[in-house]
């Protein structure tokens, strides 16, 4: 059973870059066919899709965040990462990493989720 774990600073200053890593266990990212996603949830609000990276390296981003985002993958470390530039208080949220349900699901939607990590943007 695949497991995902987010890690990174819990506090980021305004205008700086938020950086998170998702470590995947229970399977190799090299096996292919999966979409690796980031989703966030602002306090008391609903889910917001940030973007995903396919195992080949191609990416899709939320159009409203695209200019500030980079998602990358390092299959040798079984990790993928998120960078959000020029953060403001509006980027304060629980950030989740996730994987597509199975290797033949080409929808880009999420099946397995990490437990989430709270990132607060504040000076």
Give the pair of three-digit tokens for residue 79.
Answer: 């990790």
Going residue by residue from 4 to 33, which x/- string records binding to another protein, judged by CB under 8 A?
------------------------------
Our finding on whether 96 is near another protein (CB under 8 A) is yes
Q: How far apart are CA 53 and CA 66, in angstroms?
A: 13
Our finding on whether 47 is near another protein (CB under 8 A) is yes
Our finding on whether 61 is near another protein (CB under 8 A) is yes
Our finding on whether 49 is near another protein (CB under 8 A) is yes
Q: How far apart are CA 110 and CA 92, in angstroms?
A: 22
Enumerate binding residues for another protein (CB under 8 A): 37, 39, 46-49, 51-52, 60-63, 96, 101, 105, 107-116
């Amino acid at each position: 059973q695949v497991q995902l774990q987010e890690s990174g600073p819990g506090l980021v200053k305004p205008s700086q870059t938020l950086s998170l890593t998702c470590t995947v266990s229970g399977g190799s990212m090299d096996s292919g066919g999966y979409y690796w996603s980031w989703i966030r949830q602002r306090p008391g609000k609903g889910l917001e899709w940030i973007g995903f990276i396919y195992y080949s390296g191609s990416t899709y981003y939320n159009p409203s965040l695209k200019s500030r985002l980079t998602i990358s993958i390092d299959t040798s470390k079984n990790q993928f990462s998120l960078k959000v530039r020029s953060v403001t208080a509006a980027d304060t949220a629980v950030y989740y990493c996730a994987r597509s349900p199975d290797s033949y699901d080409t929808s880009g939607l999420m099946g397995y989720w990490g437990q989430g990590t709270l990132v607060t943007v504040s000076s």
